[in-house]
Amino acid sequence: MSAQEKKSVMTAFKSDIEALPAVINCIRNIRVGLNVNADEVCDICLESVFDTLDDVRAYSVHPAHRAVAGRLAPYIEVRSCVDYEI
C-alpha cells in the first residue's frame, strides 16, 4: 500500500469512528490519534470513554462499530487494547 493510500485509510477510519457517538449513545467520548512517527509499530490510537465495562461490550458488538471496524480489518497487522478504570 502506498503512503497516500495508507493515509487515506487512516483518515477515513478517524472520521468514521469519531462520528459514532451520534449513533451509539453509550460512548461518552472518543478520539483517534494518527501516528506521525513512521518508525513506530502502530499507526492509530483510539481513546474512548464509557461509563461501564458493559457499555464497552455493547459498543464492541454494535452494528455501526462493527461496520467501521470491518472496513479497517483488512489492514490490521497488530492490535493492542487496554481497558481501564479512571
Domain limits of the chain? 3-75
Give per-residue pLDDT as tens, 46-63. Answer: 999 999 999 999 999 999
CATH T-level assignment (fold) for domain 3-75: Alpha-Beta Plaits (3.30.70)
What's the whole-number average pLDDT of the chain? 95
Give residues with Cβ within 8 angstroms of 32, minimum separation 6: 13, 14, 17, 18, 44, 45, 46, 47
User: Which residue type sits at 30?
Assistant: I
Q: Is the pLDDT of residue 41 over 90?
A: no
pLDDT, residue 1, reads 84
Q: Mean of the pLDDT values across residues 38-47?
A: 92
> Which of 8-12, 24-28, 39-43 comes out lowest in average pLDDT?
39-43
Distance CA 63, CA 16 (A): 13
Helix (H, G, I), strand (E, B), or coil: what is residue 37? coil
pLDDT, residue 26, reads 98
